[in-house]
Structure 1
């Protein structure tokens, strides 16, 4: 039987902070992460979606969590085709056209930043959350495949925000596409969410 790990979307989520869940005195990121890791075995780190972290940051994440703890790390916005403000890019990359060359360089820096988590055994998967504007079709599949080829030796999970990917007429093709990429299908829970995503990677689902 597979293990089921439960966690939240970040340990500094505003709703979590407002809830009073953290004990008094846990006002800094280190204390919050250490406390979180005593209650949950998994967290989605969504801050790398907004800005590339540095290896020092992820090294600290690993040091502040116990063996067996896992981070599912959201991909930087540029890597998934979301609108990306130039100010969120490293200074030396601002002004470059948002093309495959830039995405490849950003991927390289993203992978270098996450290497400490992988080396410490703390990495669950990379989460590539694609925007609703990525509608099904050959062009979209090529875009996702290019990302997978860059991340060929990393755990890779895909969340499609356009429900059309999982429409009954297309679901089998989408599942086969993700299996071919060795990519884990991510289900969403929302009022207009499609049916539950199928298992596309037996080791992670």
Structure 2
């Protein structure tokens, strides 16, 4: 099974009729797609009651990929919110529990930063993290090329299989050590995650600029690129019962359109907003 979705549900204007309230967008989003990535959890661990409400607002079979809190992946700058790691991981686990109990937790996504390279200390940290998250499905995404260097690629994949990590396969620009190649390998029989970041080489390494969010994921996949990925997704589906595909290329608003294009290429049904016709003006002399 291959399911397609997007990062977040609030910022994809083409999915919603004008005037759709923010509180209603998740319900409408779930008519279009069966999976979503919740990136708000990266900035703050979400309260369990909010997660329970999200579960209630979505239909049976809907799934959430919840991005791990930044303090757990080495991204945090400034004063920590939690006093210690036990409290931090405990809060995150509590946050995920309503989704897991509702059968709607696809995975917790641990995306590590470009400076998280392949060394013994970081391997130890990954083992410790996986133990702390026991009982929760966890996906792993790297941003440093060293994990997939020729001499390390097979070892990294074997490590992920041994530790029970779900592989987050990436399509992203090849722009130096802070980006990784596409490695289409399934490491978990239940799930493989695929994240489509676009291929904007020039904008990828500009995180220090004020408008980096506006350019980093600025990319519109063409039909040939999506067709190539369609074949890759079919191969990944041979190694995992489910392949979840998240389009993250929304700096220019292309993610929703590309996701639906991919669904059509895969022969999946695509929901479109009903066409609202303007009322015809009454002709006073022809009635």
TM range (shorter): 0.7 to 0.9
Matches within 5 A, 1:106-121: 106-121=88-103
SS across alignment from 1:131: coil
1:132 Cα offset (Å): 0.9
State whether structure 2 residue 186 is matched by structure 1 residue 199. Answer: yes
Separation in structure 2 between the aligned mates of residue 169 and residue 201 of structure 1, nearest angstrom: 22
Equivalent position SS for 1:53: coil
In 2, the alpha carbon distance for the partners of 1:167 and 1:140 equals 16
Partner of 1:150: 132
1:167 is displaced (CA, Å) by 1.8
Q: 1:11 aligns with which of 9, 12, 24?
A: 9
Contact 2:15 2:32 (C-alpha < 8 Å) held by counterparts: no
Aligned mate of 1:129, from 89, 97, 111: 111
Max Rg structure? 2
Q: Deviations over 1:12-71 (max 9, x none)?
A: 23xx24xx431122131x310000001100000110000011011101100110000000
Where 2:181 maps in the other structure, the secondary structure is coil
- The answer to whether the Cα contact below 8 Å between 1:167 and 1:194 also exists between their aligned partners in 2 is no
Q: Which residue of 24, 34, 40 maps to 1:41?
A: 34
Structure 1 position 51 matched with structure 2 position 44? yes
Tell me which moved more, 107-116 or 77-86. 77-86
Asked if the contact 2:3–2:34 (Cα under 8 Å) also holds between the matched residues in 1, the reply is: yes
With normalisation by structure 2, the TM-score equals 0.63
SS across alignment from 1:6: strand
Instruction: Give the Cα separation in 1 of the matches to 2:41 and 2:77.
Output: 12
Deviation of 1:86 after TM superposition, in Å, equals: 2.9
1:25 aligns with 2:25: no
User: How far off is 1:168 after superposition?
Assistant: 1.9
Question: Residues of 2 paired with 1:174 and 1:196: CA distance?
Answer: 11
Q: Gaps spanning 5+ residues in structure 2: where?
A: 175-179, 193-287
Displacement after TM superposition at 1:203 (Å): 1.1
C-alpha distance in 1 between matches for 2:98 and 2:36: 16
Tell me how far 1:104 sits from its aligned partner. 2.1
Check the 8 A contact 1:186/1:197 in 2, yes or no.
Answer: no
Q: TM-score, normalised by structure 1?
A: 0.87
Contact 2:51 2:95 in 1 (8 A): yes
In 2, the alpha carbon distance for the partners of 1:139 and 1:117 equals: 32
Distance in 1 between residues matched to 2:138 and 2:151, nearest whole Å: 25
The equivalent residue for 1:172 is 154
Aligned length: 187
SS at match of 1:26: coil
Secondary structure of the residue aligned to 2:154 is helix
Q: Which residue of 1 aligns with 2:145?
A: 163
User: Larger relative contact order (C-alpha < 8 A, sep ≥ 6)?
Assistant: 2
Q: Which of 69, 77, 80 is residue 73 of structure 2 equivalent to?
A: 80
